[in-house]
Structure 1
């Protein structure tokens, strides 16, 4: 199978440069994360700096500095309160509570932790001075390994994905043991919220037949793409996100973001997919019945590239379940935990999630707990 040469939109280039300029990562690190050459990213950065005047952040005023200090203090108090509450109802059994106290002696007074966790100091020190059992030592080692995987997943993985990651690293541990240790150490996956309709299907444009018919399993790339639109709240207003995924490897091959939900939004996402994805004869593009997908301009773009159109039945989100599932994952793992001040801030966060984490790092249960890019690379190599 011949790999198609990647092309990059201006939007992609700007977001990639933003990861270097606004984050703490080097050009080498960002290029590895995005799967591009460092020299290419360096050229984009140089071109950007030539076009833009580099602004220097103004020094904080006393009022702003005071506000920032108050915010930091509030955060510290919150973390302390979380520690107290978590100790009272999430740690199971005295050994786990004692272990928590032992591991946090440098951060918190022993007296305070004993009081919060409901154990006596004498009992803690008696436990501390007893020889640690082999099982306990093994559990401590496993918890350290599990925490590394959980942290790398941005605290989104449940025990099945953590177990798959440990297995790939050559560790031998049962899935039930992983689940128990995660539960005892407050490592839980994030839960999904209720689905909400985004697009408007009330229009006079022709509606395509449902050619996909919920057949989400395909044998290769470029057979079927699925697309959808969602919205992200910011203090400036909504940020709309359109995506296109290939059903074979579940990779996001096209995306676009804007302050308005228009036909141009979905056309930009489709154009990116056309430039980066695999197109085969008979390729089907599936979406809902929204006016953005049914309009003449979008339909003309599909026809120009020989892509067949398929649309969900009216009001049935399950006909486009893969795209809907991606949005639920995005919101559970990222946007529901953020409060964005600006659309630009949200856009940078979403770009990094899609291009670095979701496509290249996040293990997908449908893909045998491989990332979309890993699954795609193995398919091309076979």
Structure 2
């Protein structure tokens, strides 16, 4: 109607639409100066939309936590859901389906199946390798993550298929870090991959490291690490737009910093791994 008011008399348009002229002029007056509540709603919708464009792999709860971390703006989850629903914001990441457990491991027992009491750093480390391609080049990334605060404490990258050194280099860095916490024994959990099961790999482990393995063909035995692997690929390519324009090694190092220091984690009540660790040290 506003567009037509320049071509037809307002009186005629209001009569045709069945509304009062005063209502039309009231609406027109407030169109450019919305009420504070309406403006606040629009601003918040815009904020969540901007964060969704930057991190499209995540849903409203994570976006809400990231906004709180970055800006200090605090919204309840129902309001965050409302803003995202109005804006049509949904996670674009694919989620993995549950797989039926496989046969028990025959190399090392699955210590994660017991009720572990993890109350400090480096008590239980989980590891896995994930692969991805950038500009036609195949990369393999081995990660070591602390189950206590979901912090990636060691990683290694290679552009060579089946490179055993990503596992070895990551393990050596992990063992160096472990020297800073000699008071803890450590469980190292992985799948039954050929390198993890090899004699050469396990002979590197000191006596204070207890070895643990998932059942064959059962990624749910290492659910946290498997979940992280899925998120890493989604975030690398959907959110951080890894393209290979910079050295991939540098982009991975930058992502690890983002993961540990700038990425809220649901399992940590939306603290980052670094925030959780620092809160524990203060306590």
TM-score, length basis structure 1: 0.57
What is the Cα deviation at residue 165 of structure 1? 4.8
Matched, 1:248 2:151: no
Q: Measure the CA separation in 1 of the matches of 2:259 and 2:72.
A: 23
1:308 maps to 210
Contact in 2 for aligned 1:242/1:257 (Cα 8 Å): yes
Moved over 6 A (4+): none
Q: Measure the CA separation in 2 of the matches of 1:271 and 1:323.
A: 19
Structure 2 unmatched ranges of 5 or more: 1-24, 100-105
1:295 maps to 198
CA 1:339–1:224 in structure 2 vs 1: closer, same or farther (change >3 Å)? closer
Deviations 1:29-53 (A, max 9, x none): xxxxxxxxxxxxxxxxxxxxxxxxx
What is the Cα deviation at residue 216 of structure 1? 7.0
Q: Measure the CA separation in 1 of the matches of 2:194 and 2:28.
A: 66
Alignment of 1:265-284 (within 5 A): 265-277=166-178, 278=181, 280-284=183-187
Task: Tell me: higher relative CO, structure 1 or 2? Use CA pairs within 8 A at least 6 residues apart.
Answer: 2
Matched, 1:365 2:263: no
2:19 maps to none
Q: Measure the CA separation in 1 of the matches of 2:114 and 2:91.
A: 27
What is the Cα deviation at residue 147 of structure 1? 4.8
Contact in 2 for aligned 1:193/1:332 (Cα 8 Å): no
Contact in 2 for aligned 1:223/1:280 (Cα 8 Å): no
Q: Measure the CA separation in 2 of the matches of 1:143 and 1:237.
A: 39
Contact in 1 for aligned 2:125/2:147 (Cα 8 Å): yes
Deviations 1:34-74 (A, max 9, x none): xxxxxxxxxxxxxxxxxxxxxxxxxxxxxxxxxxxxxxxxx
- Equivalent residue in structure 1 for 2:43, among 115, 136, 141: 141
Aligned residues: 248
Alignment of 1:1-382 (within 5 A): 129-131=29-31, 132-147=34-49, 150=52, 154-165=55-66, 171=73, 173-194=75-96, 207-213=107-113, 215=115, 218-258=118-158, 259-277=160-178, 278=181, 280-302=183-205, 304=206, 306-335=208-237, 338=241, 340=243, 345-355=247-257, 357-382=258-283
What is the Cα deviation at residue 192 of structure 1? 2.5
**More strand per residue:** 2
Contact in 1 for aligned 2:56/2:238 (Cα 8 Å): no
Moved more, 163-172 or 325-334: 163-172
CA 1:174–1:341 in structure 2 vs 1: closer, same or farther (change >3 Å)? closer
CA 1:159–1:341 in structure 2 vs 1: closer, same or farther (change >3 Å)? closer
The DSSP-based 3-state class of the residue aligned with 1:261 is coil
CA 1:274–1:328 in structure 2 vs 1: closer, same or farther (change >3 Å)? same
Q: Measure the CA separation in 2 of the matches of 1:257 and 1:373.
A: 22
Report which of the two structures shows the higher radius of gyration computed on alpha carbons.
2
What is the Cα deviation at residue 332 of structure 1? 1.4
TM-score, length basis structure 2: 0.75
CA 1:217–1:245 in structure 2 vs 1: closer, same or farther (change >3 Å)? farther
CA 1:172–1:339 in structure 2 vs 1: closer, same or farther (change >3 Å)? closer
1:20 maps to none
Q: Measure the CA separation in 2 of the matches of 1:269 and 1:284.
A: 15
**More helix per residue:** 1
The DSSP-based 3-state class of the residue aligned with 1:324 is helix
Q: Measure the CA separation in 2 of the matches of 1:354 and 1:379.
A: 21
The DSSP-based 3-state class of the residue aligned with 1:334 is helix
What is the Cα deviation at residue 322 of structure 1? 1.1
